[in-house]
Homo-oligomer: A and B are copies of this chain.
Amino acid sequence: MPVFLNTTQPDFEAAFAALLTAKREDSPDVDDTVAAIIADVRARGDAALLDYTARFDRMEITADKIAVSRAEVDAEIAKVPEADRMALETAAERIRAYHARQLPEDQRWTDETGAELGWRWTPVSAAGLYVPGGIASYPSSVLMNAVPAKVAGVARLAITVPTPDGVMNPLVMLAARIAGVDEIYRVGGAQAIAALAYGTETIAPVDKITGPGNAYVAAAKRRVFGRVGIDMIAGPSEILVIADADNDPDWIALDLMSQAEHDESAQSILITTDAAFGRAVAEAVEARLTTLERRAVAGASWRDFGAIVVAQDLEEAAALSNRIAPEHLELCVGDPDALSEQITHAGAIFLGQWTPEAIGDYVGGPNHVLPTARSARFSSGLSVMDFVKRTTLAKMTPDALRAIGPAAETLARAESLEAHGLSVTARLEKLNR
A-to-B contact residues, CB < 8 Å? 83-84, 86-88, 90-91, 94, 97-98, 101, 107, 109, 111, 115-117, 119-120, 122, 124-125, 135, 138-140, 171, 207-208, 226, 228-229, 233, 248, 250-251, 254-255, 257-258, 260-262, 288, 292-294, 298, 336-337, 340, 343-367, 370-371, 373, 375-381, 383, 385, 389-398, 400-401, 404-408, 410-412, 414-424, 426-427, 430
- The answer to whether B361 touches A426 (Cβ under 8 A) is no
- The answer to whether B394 touches A345 (Cβ under 8 A) is no
- The answer to whether A365 touches B117 (Cβ under 8 A) is yes
With contacts A94-B404, A226-B375, A407-B363 known, is A351 near B394, CB below 8 A?
yes
- The answer to whether A411 touches B258 (Cβ under 8 A) is no
Contacting residue for A255 out of B229, B337, B378, B423, CB 8 A: B423
User: B residues within 8 A CB of A417?
Assistant: 258, 261-262, 294, 358, 361
22 CB contacts below 8 A, A to B, read A87-B410, A94-B404, A122-B344, A125-B377, A140-B415, A207-B377, A226-B375, A251-B426, A262-B417, A336-B395, A347-B391, A348-B391, A348-B394, A353-B427, A355-B394, A357-B423, A359-B401, A362-B408, A362-B411, A363-B411, A366-B394, A381-B392
Instruction: A88-B411, A171-B414, A358-B417 given; name 10 further pairs at CB < 8 Å.
Output: A87-B406, A207-B378, A229-B378, A345-B391, A348-B391, A350-B394, A361-B412, A363-B404, A364-B394, A380-B389
- The answer to whether B101 touches A254 (Cβ under 8 A) is no
**A221 to B373 CA separation, bound complex (whole angstroms):** 18
Closest B residue to A367 by beta carbon equals B392
With contacts A101-B107, A140-B411, A378-B228 known, is A391 near B424, CB below 8 A?
no
With contacts A389-B376, A394-B366, A420-B358 known, is A125 near B427, CB below 8 A?
no
- The answer to whether B395 touches A351 (Cβ under 8 A) is yes
- The answer to whether A90 touches B395 (Cβ under 8 A) is no
- Shortest distance in angstroms between A428's beta carbon and chain B's nearest beta carbon? 10
- The answer to whether A115 touches B364 (Cβ under 8 A) is yes
**A427 to B250 CA separation, bound complex (whole angstroms):** 10
- The answer to whether A261 touches B355 (Cβ under 8 A) is no
Of listed A122, A208, A392, residue having the most chain B CB within 10 A: A392
Of listed A86, A125, A357, A411, residue having the most chain B CB within 10 A: A411
User: B residues within 8 A CB of A363?
Assistant: 404, 407-408, 411
Report the copy number of this chain in the oligomer: 2
Closest B residue to A386 by beta carbon equals B378
**A381 to B394 CA separation, bound complex (whole angstroms):** 14
User: B residues within 8 A CB of A294?
Assistant: 416-419
User: B residues within 8 A CB of A423?
Assistant: 251, 254-255, 257-258, 356-358
**A353 to B397 CA separation, bound complex (whole angstroms):** 9
User: B residues within 8 A CB of A389?
Assistant: 345, 371, 376-380
**A120 to B417 CA separation, bound complex (whole angstroms):** 42
User: B residues within 8 A CB of A412?
Assistant: 358, 361-362
- Shortest distance in angstroms between A370's beta carbon and chain B's nearest beta carbon? 8
Closest B residue to A364 by beta carbon equals B394
Closest B residue to A413 by beta carbon equals B84
With contacts A226-B373, A396-B354 known, is A119 near B390, CB below 8 A?
no
Closest B residue to A293 by beta carbon equals B418
- The answer to whether A359 touches B396 (Cβ under 8 A) is yes
With contacts A248-B430, A260-B419, A411-B88 known, is A349 near B125, CB below 8 A?
no
**A83 to B138 CA separation, bound complex (whole angstroms):** 61
**A337 to B393 CA separation, bound complex (whole angstroms):** 10
- Shortest distance in angstroms between A80's beta carbon and chain B's nearest beta carbon? 9
User: B residues within 8 A CB of A421?
Assistant: 358
- The answer to whether B390 touches A360 (Cβ under 8 A) is no
- Shortest distance in angstroms between A390's beta carbon and chain B's nearest beta carbon? 4
